[in-house]
Chain A
Amino acid sequence: MALDSKIPKGPISDKWTHYKDHINLVNPANKRNLDVIIVGTGLAGGSAAATLAELGYNVKAFCFQDSPRRAHSIAAQGGINAAKNYQGDGDSTFRLFYDTVKGGDYRAREANVHRLAEVSTNIIDQCVAQGVPFAREYGGLLDNRSFGGTLVSRTFYAKGQTGQQLLLGAYSAMNRQIGRGKIKMHNRHEMLDLVIVDGKARGIIARDLISGKIERHSAHAVVIASGGYGNVFFLSTNAMGSNVTAAWKIHKRGAFFANPCYTQIHPTCIPVSGDHQAKLTLMSESLRNDGRIWVPAKLEDAKLIREGKLKPTQLAEEDRDYYLERRYPAFGNLVPRDIASRAAKERCDAGFGVNKTGEAVYLDFAAAIERYGIDQARLKHLDENDKTLVIKLGTEIVANKYGNLFQMYEKIVDENPYSTPMMIYPAVHYTMGGTWVDYNLQTTIPGCFSIGESNFSDHGANRLGASALMQGLADGYFVLPYTIGDYLAPDIKKGKISTDTPEFDAAEQNVVDQISRLMNNGGTKPADYFHKKLGKIMWNKAGMSRNEQGLKEAQQEIAQIREEFYKDVKIPGTADSFNPELAKALRVADFLELGELFAKDALHRNESCGGHFREEFQTADGEAQRDDKNFAYVAAWEYKGNPSDAILHKEELVYDNVELVQRSYK
C-alpha cells in the first residue's frame, strides 16, 4: 500500500485556503444525523469535541479520567506559540513554519506545519474570546515570552499554567455543548478496540472503568486524541494514566504507526530521587530564559558536591562550566530541547553530575535575580549597590515569573531554589511519533482520524517548546472540523450505525478474551513490575542516545518481558468492578508491544535527527549527523502480528520551501 499524504497542490501558503474552499460541506440539517466518537479530551480532543458539537454533529466523547478537565494537556506549563508578531520582532507565519520545520530537524511534513503556523493566530483570538486569562502587560495587551530554539518572542502564556488555562478553555467550550446535549460525555471510560465495518471505522469498544462493563459505541467517524506514549519509559513527565492503548488498538486494526522512535527528552525536569519514584516532574522550559545551566568545571568539585561536602553556591564563577553557553554561544541556554538534554547527559556521563545519583545539572537563577534586582533598583531610584535590596527586588521579579514552578520544586526537593541553584535532569516528555495521518488527519483506516500528540504530523523529529499546545488546539479547533466534514459529506444518508453486527460482536469478544486471559493467568507480579522493567530497557537502550547493539538487545528483551507478562502478571479484584490494576495491566500490555516497535524503528533509522540520536551517527564534535539522502522520509509501520514483523512504509518528505541544512545553534 502506497502512502498518500493527500497534500493539496499549489504554493504552500495557499494550500490550506484552497483546500478549505473546495472541500465538501455538510448541510447543517444533516450534521445532526452524523455521530462522531472522540477518544481523549485533552486540548486536541476537547477542542474538537466542542467545535464539532457547535457545528451540529452528535459527539460522543470518552476519557479515562473522572472529568475531561483532567487530561494531561493540563500539565503543560510554558506557553503556546502563535505568529501574531505583537512584539514587532520580525515574526511571521513563514518564520513560525520555518522554525518548526528546522526545530523538527527536517523530518516534518511541510504542508501540515505551514497550516499549523497559519491557524496559530486564530487560536489566540479564540482562547481570549473564551476567557482564557493570558498574561498581560500593564497596557492591558497580551504579553509574550521567548522560548527555546527561536529568536522571536511569540509565546503566549498564563504564568506557568498555560496548558491548564487552555484546557479549561476547551473544557468550558465542551461544557456548553454537554449542557446543550450535543456532546455525550463518557468519563472514566477506556477505549479498548476499534470497530471497522466495510473498511470504515464505525465505532469503538470501551470499558466503563467504574462498573467494568464492556460497551459498544457506534459513530460515522472515530477520532483518536489520546495523547502520546511517553509512559513506555515508565518514568516520564506524562500522567500516570497516559497510555498508548487507543492509538495502539487502531494500529492493530490497520492504522500505520509513524516514527515511534522520535521521543522528546525534556531538559528541565526534577531529577530522579530513588527507585520508588513513580513519575517525573517537568519544570517549564521557560526557566531557561532566566536560568543558567552549569556543572562544576572540575571533577573533584563535582565529587565533593555529590557527597554533600561542598555547596554549589560556594563554587567560584571560574570553577563553573556553563556548558551550553560555551558550546552554543548564539543560543546559549535556549538551544532546542534535544540539544540541551544531550548536553546534560554528556556532562553527567563524563562525571560532572551534581546530585546523589550523579544525574543532575544546575539551573541557576542567581544572575537573573541580580540583573532584575538592579533593574528594579534603578527603576525605583533605590541604591543599586545595596546587595540585600537588589536580591530582594530581583527575587520578587523572579517569583512573579516562575513562582509556582519554584514552589513546586521546593515541595518536591525540599530546597529553596531562590537561594541555591535548582537541580535538573532530562526526562521523557513528549512523543513526536504517533499514528500516521494524511493532510486530513485521517489514518490509513478510512473514517479513523488522529489528532494532537497521538498523531505524528507536525513536529518532525523534535518538537519546539510551546508548540504542543498549538498543535493540539489547531487540530481540534481549526483543522479537523473541516477535514472530517469532507469525509462525512457522503455519509449523510447512512443513518444510525447499528452496534448489533458481527463486527461489533467480534471486537467485543476480542476485548473480553484479552481481559479474561489477564485475569485468569494465575500470575504473581503486579503490572508495575513489568512496566518498570520495560522502562529500564527503554531508558538505557532506546533513550537519549541509542546504538545498534543496544536496540537489538532491547527488541529481544522486550519480547521476552511481554511473554513473561502474560504468564505472570497478577491482577487482584474482578473484571466487572472498579479495578485500577486491570486498567493498568491492559495499558502495560500495549506498551510492551509498542516498545519493541519503537526499538525496531530506532534501529532501522541509521542517522541521528532531533530526538533520535544514534551514537554511530554523530559529527566529530558530538552533534547529531542527519542523513537526508537516505532518511528524509516518514517511517510508517504496518501491523502484522508481532511488532518484529511490522512492515515499513515510507512517505518521502519533500521540501520545497525550506532548505535542508545541518541544524546549528552555535
Chain B
Amino acid sequence: MKLALKIWRQNNASSPGKMVDYTVDNIEPDMSFLEMLDILNDELIVKGEDTVAFDHDCREGICGMCSLFINGEAHGPDRLVTTCQLHMRKFKDGDTIYIEPFRAKAFPVIKDLVVDRSSFDRIQQSGGFISVNTSGNTIDANTIPIPKHDADKAFDAATCIGCGACVATCKNSSAMLFVSAKVSQFSLLPQGKVEAKERVLNMVNQMDAEGFGNCTNTGACEVECPKGISLENIARMNREYLKSSLI
C-alpha cells in the first residue's frame, strides 16, 4: 500500500505547530499503525530529518501510552482498539491519513504527537484510591463477600487504561468517562464505599481545575473508548456526586 500522511509537527510545547505531508510506500496490511510510523521514522533518519515523536510502549493495547487522533477519530477508525492494535488492513491503498495529537487544554503537546496527560495522574492523586496501608495484616480477602455482579461491574470500570481517548474525542474535551470509571470501580466495592463521598467530590474538583470541559452526554467517549467503558459510569458518578454534595 502507498499512503499519504498528514502529520502534526510541533517542536516543543512553546513553539507553534503545523500539519506536514509525508508519503509511505510498501505498507503491508498486516502491519500495525505504529509499525507504519516506525517505517516512516526510519526513512526520516536515513534522510537526516527529525523523526515524528509519538507515545507508545506495550503495543498490545493495555498500557494506554499510545494515543493519536487518526482521520478525525481517537485511536483511528477501528473500534475497541488502541492505536497500537490498529492494523493497516483498515486502510486502502492511496488513502490520505490525518494524524494529530490528542487535543485538549489539559493535554498540552510536548512534541509532535506526544502530549502531557499528567492531568489524569493528578485527578487520581486527588482521590482515586482506597486509603489502606500495607501491613500484611489486613483482613482475609474472603471476609467480605462481594456479589459477582458488583465485582464484575467494578472490574469493567477498572479496565480503563487512562489513554485519554475520551477526552480527545469529546467535542468538549471532557474527562468524565475517565474519572467516572475510577469513581465507579470504588463505589461499587464495599472497600471503596467508606471514602466514596470525599473521593467523588475531590476527583471532580480536580478534574474541573485541570481545565477539562463539561460533559454534554454526546456518548462519543463510549464509542471511541478502546476498552468500551460504559456511559453508565458517568451516570453513576453524577448520582454519587449529587448524593455526596447534598447529604
Q: A47-B134, A478-B134 are in contact. Are A573 and B58 (CB under 8 A)?
A: no
Q: What 1/0 mask marks residues of chain B from 5 to 26 whose CB sits below 8 Å from any chain A CB?
A: 0000001100000000000000
Give every chain A residue within 8 A of B173 (Cβ-Cβ). none
With the chains together, A124 CA to B132 CA distance in Å?
A: 14
Give every chain B residue within 8 A of A408 (Cβ-Cβ). 60-61, 85
With the chains together, A237 CA to B34 CA distance in Å?
A: 16
With the chains together, A236 CA to B126 CA distance in Å?
A: 36
Give every chain B residue within 8 A of A161 (Cβ-Cβ). 62, 159
Q: What 1/0 mask marks residues of chain A from 35 to 70 whose CB sits below 8 Å from any chain B CB?
A: 000000000000100110010000000000111111
Give every chain A residue within 8 A of B42 (Cβ-Cβ). 526, 528-529
Q: Shortest distance in angstroms between A514's beta carbon and chain B's nearest beta carbon?
A: 20
Give every chain B residue within 8 A of A138 (Cβ-Cβ). 148
Looking across the interface, which residue of chain B has its beta carbon closest to that of A82? B141
Q: Which one of A6-14, A278-286, A359-367, A604-612 is at the B interface?
A: A278-286
Q: What 1/0 mask marks residues of chain B from 144 to 182 whose CB sits below 8 Å from any chain A CB?
A: 011110011011001101100000000000000000000
Q: Shortest distance in angstroms between A44's beta carbon and chain B's nearest beta carbon?
A: 13
Interfacial residues of chain B within 119-146, with CB under 8 A of chain A in the complex? 120-121, 124-126, 128-142, 145-146
Q: In the complex, which of the residues A125, A414, A525 contacts B139, with contact meaning CB atoms closer than 8 Å? A: A125
Looking across the interface, which residue of chain A has its beta carbon closest to that of B29? A414
Contact B129 A572 (CB under 8 A): no
Contact B125 A179 (CB under 8 A): yes
B210 at the interface (CB under 8 A from A): no
B56 at the interface (CB under 8 A from A): yes
Q: Shortest distance in angstroms between B187's beta carbon and chain A's nearest beta carbon?
A: 10
Q: A67-B117, A75-B60, A176-B131 are in contact. Are A414 and B89 (CB under 8 A)?
A: yes
With the chains together, A239 CA to B84 CA distance in Å?
A: 11
A515 at the interface (CB under 8 A from B): no
Q: Shortest distance in angstroms between B44's beta carbon and chain A's nearest beta carbon?
A: 7
Q: A135-B151, A477-B134, A572-B44 are in contact. Are A69 and B145 (CB under 8 A)?
A: no
Contact A276 B111 (CB under 8 A): no
Give every chain B residue within 8 A of A526 (Cβ-Cβ). 41-42, 45-46
A578 at the interface (CB under 8 A from B): yes
Q: In the complex, which of the residues B151, B159, B162 contacts A67, with contact meaning CB atoms closer than 8 Å? A: B162
Give every chain A residue within 8 A of B87 (Cβ-Cβ). 411-412, 414
Give every chain A residue within 8 A of B58 (Cβ-Cβ). 70, 72, 74-75, 239-240
With the chains together, A278 CA to B161 CA distance in Å?
A: 22
Q: A411-B81, A478-B136, A528-B42 are in contact. Are A67 and B121 (CB under 8 A)?
A: yes
Give every chain B residue within 8 A of A176 (Cβ-Cβ). 125, 129, 131
A216 at the interface (CB under 8 A from B): no
With the chains together, A253 CA to B111 CA distance in Å?
A: 34
With the chains together, A538 CA to B100 CA distance in Å?
A: 37
Contact A70 B30 (CB under 8 A): no
Q: What 1/0 mask marks residues of chain B from 74 to 91 whose CB sits below 8 Å from any chain A CB?
A: 000010110001010100
**Interface magnitude class on chain B:** 35 or more
With the chains together, A277 CA to B88 CA distance in Å?
A: 13
Contact B59 A279 (CB under 8 A): yes
With the chains together, A86 CA to B142 CA distance in Å?
A: 9
Give every chain A residue within 8 A of B154 (Cβ-Cβ). 131, 133
Looking across the interface, which residue of chain A has its beta carbon closest to that of B202? A179
Give every chain A residue within 8 A of B244 (Cβ-Cβ). none
B186 at the interface (CB under 8 A from A): yes
B93 at the interface (CB under 8 A from A): no
Q: A133-B155, A141-B145, A168-B158 are in contact. Are A67 and B120 (CB under 8 A)?
A: yes
Q: Shortest distance in angstroms between A247's beta carbon and chain B's nearest beta carbon?
A: 18
Contact B118 A66 (CB under 8 A): yes
Q: A66-B117, A239-B57, A580-B51 are in contact. Are A175 and B129 (CB under 8 A)?
A: yes
Contact A187 B162 (CB under 8 A): no
Contact B62 A411 (CB under 8 A): no
B208 at the interface (CB under 8 A from A): no
A140 at the interface (CB under 8 A from B): yes
With the chains together, A580 CA to B111 CA distance in Å?
A: 10
With the chains together, A173 CA to B130 CA distance in Å?
A: 8
Q: In the complex, which of the residues B28, B51, B116, B124 contacts A171, with contact meaning CB atoms closer than 8 Å? A: B124
Contact A578 B51 (CB under 8 A): no
A130 at the interface (CB under 8 A from B): yes
B114 at the interface (CB under 8 A from A): yes
- Among B60, B140, B189, the most chain A Cβ lie within 10 Å of the Cβ of B60
Looking across the interface, which residue of chain B has its beta carbon closest to that of A183? B125
Give every chain A residue within 8 A of B101 (Cβ-Cβ). none
Interfacial residues of chain A within 101-151, with CB under 8 A of chain B in the complex? 119, 122, 124-131, 133-142
B1 at the interface (CB under 8 A from A): no
Q: Shortest distance in angstroms between B48's beta carbon and chain A's nearest beta carbon?
A: 7
Contact B129 A173 (CB under 8 A): yes
A619 at the interface (CB under 8 A from B): no
Q: Shortest distance in angstroms between A462's beta carbon and chain B's nearest beta carbon?
A: 23
Q: Shortest distance in angstroms between B224's beta carbon and chain A's nearest beta carbon?
A: 15
B205 at the interface (CB under 8 A from A): no
Q: In the complex, which of the residues B31, B63, B140 contacts A70, with contact meaning CB atoms closer than 8 Å? A: B63
Give every chain B residue within 8 A of A86 (Cβ-Cβ). 142
Q: What 1/0 mask marks residues of chain A from 272 to 308 whose CB sits below 8 Å from any chain B CB?
A: 0110111101100000000000000000000000000
Give every chain A residue within 8 A of B151 (Cβ-Cβ). 133-136, 140
- Among B30, B31, B134, B152, the most chain A Cβ lie within 10 Å of the Cβ of B134
Contact B57 A278 (CB under 8 A): no
Contact B134 A51 (CB under 8 A): yes
Looking across the interface, which residue of chain B has its beta carbon closest to that of A210? B110
Looking across the interface, which residue of chain A has its beta carbon closest to that of B124? A175
With the chains together, A580 CA to B189 CA distance in Å?
A: 40
Interfacial residues of chain A within 510-529, with CB under 8 A of chain B in the complex? 524-526, 528-529
Q: What 1/0 mask marks residues of chain A from 167 to 206 whose CB sits below 8 Å from any chain B CB?
A: 0100111011011000001010000000000000000000
B38 at the interface (CB under 8 A from A): yes
With the chains together, A664 CA to B129 CA distance in Å?
A: 45
Give every chain A residue within 8 A of B140 (Cβ-Cβ). 125
Give every chain A residue within 8 A of B125 (Cβ-Cβ). 175-176, 178-179
Give every chain A residue within 8 A of B118 (Cβ-Cβ). 66-67, 187
Give every chain A residue within 8 A of B142 (Cβ-Cβ). 86, 141-142
Q: Shortest distance in angstroms between A231's beta carbon and chain B's nearest beta carbon?
A: 12
Give every chain A residue within 8 A of B12 (Cβ-Cβ). 577-578
- Among A65, A172, A412, A478, the most chain B Cβ lie within 10 Å of the Cβ of A172
B39 at the interface (CB under 8 A from A): yes
Looking across the interface, which residue of chain A has its beta carbon closest to that of B43? A526
Looking across the interface, which residue of chain B has its beta carbon closest to that of A70? B63
Give every chain B residue within 8 A of A84 (Cβ-Cβ). 141
A481 at the interface (CB under 8 A from B): yes
Contact A175 B134 (CB under 8 A): no
Q: Shortest distance in angstroms between A586's beta carbon and chain B's nearest beta carbon?
A: 15
Contact B34 A278 (CB under 8 A): yes
Contact A411 B59 (CB under 8 A): no
Q: Shortest distance in angstroms between A496's beta carbon and chain B's nearest beta carbon?
A: 25
Contact B50 A573 (CB under 8 A): yes
Q: A142-B141, A411-B78, A478-B134 are in contact. Are A175 and B49 (CB under 8 A)?
A: no
Given A129-B141, A276-B35, list of 4 further CB < 8 A pairs? A128-B191, A133-B152, A210-B110, A580-B53
Please provide the 4 A-B residue pairs with the shortest distance between their CB atoms, ordered closest to farther: A140-B145, A172-B129, A133-B155, A128-B141
Listed A/B pairs (21) with beta-carbon separation below 8 Å: A65-B63, A71-B63, A75-B60, A126-B135, A129-B138, A131-B130, A131-B185, A133-B158, A135-B151, A140-B145, A175-B124, A237-B60, A239-B58, A241-B57, A274-B28, A279-B60, A412-B87, A414-B89, A529-B42, A578-B111, A578-B114
